[in-house]
Amino acid sequence: FRGVHIEQRKLAALRLFRIPMGMTPESRKAYATQLDELKLLRHPHIVRCYGGGFDSRQAFLAYELVEGESLAQQLDRRGQLPWETALDYSRQLAEALDYAHLTGWVHGRLRPEKVLISKEGQVKIADWRREAISSMLDAPPSLRQLQFTPPEVLQGGVADEKADLFAVGAIMYYMLTGKLPF
């Protein structure tokens, strides 16, 4: 949803989701702690999280509103991208991931749907989260999502910095060819 962040006096994107049954005081505290951590993740190529909260039935996250489209939408509309555009987008992705990895963050689910392109051509990675938030939002992955997941994660391993780099390589392939990697 589109909204206004009252304290920031900025347009915001709101994501609403149901709280899982039996959310304990400990899991609520973990959620709140991870929201505080998420608000500290600030980089020009990362969608900023303004915060969030919850009541008895649902929770919300408020994000910076990025006017534009996802990389997936752009690729669906245009097919492959010119190599110069693919290189520029890849550079911006790498800068964001370098910052995130240095600050202890791993995306772990990076794919074209999570890459937003502003009207000015700025890349912004969306949907960063830790386990407490992920457990509320995650649905079984689609076949398309699996195209950008490294084999070691598919075999039950934990997503790490290398998994994010694998995803960037798969995204680059998709941008340059207009075809999914596998």
* pLDDT value for 17: 77
* pLDDT value for 23: 66
* pLDDT value for 181: 87
pTM, full prediction: 0.87
**Numbers of helices and strands, H then E, in the chain:** 7, 7
* pLDDT value for 142: 75
3-class DSSP assignment, residue 49: strand
Query: How many C-beta neighbours within 10 Å does residue 177 have?
Result: 13
Any residues with CB less than 8 A from the CB of 76 and at least 6 apart, and which?
Answer: none
Q: If you ran DSSP here, which 8-state letter would residue 155 be given?
A: T
pLDDT surpassing 60 at residue 27:
yes
pLDDT surpassing 80 at residue 22:
no
pLDDT digits (tens, 9 = 90+) for 45-86: 999 999 888 777 777 888 999 999 999 999 999 999 999 999
Question: What is the Cα 89 distance to its own chain's centre?
Answer: 15
Q: Give the residue with greater pLDDT, 100 vs 52.
A: 100
* pLDDT value for 54: 77
* pLDDT value for 132: 43
Q: Which residue has the tokens 């070691």?
A: 152
- List the alpha helices (DSSP H) in the chain: 25-39, 71-78, 83-102, 131-137, 143-146, 151-154, 161-177
What is the rounded average pLDDT of the residues 90-100? 98
Residue type, 115: V
pLDDT digits (tens, 9 = 90+) for 125-177: 999 977 545 544 556 667 778 899 999 988 988 889 999 999 999 999 999 99
* pLDDT value for 134: 53
What's the half-sphere exposure (Cβ side, CA atoms, 13 Å) at 44? 8
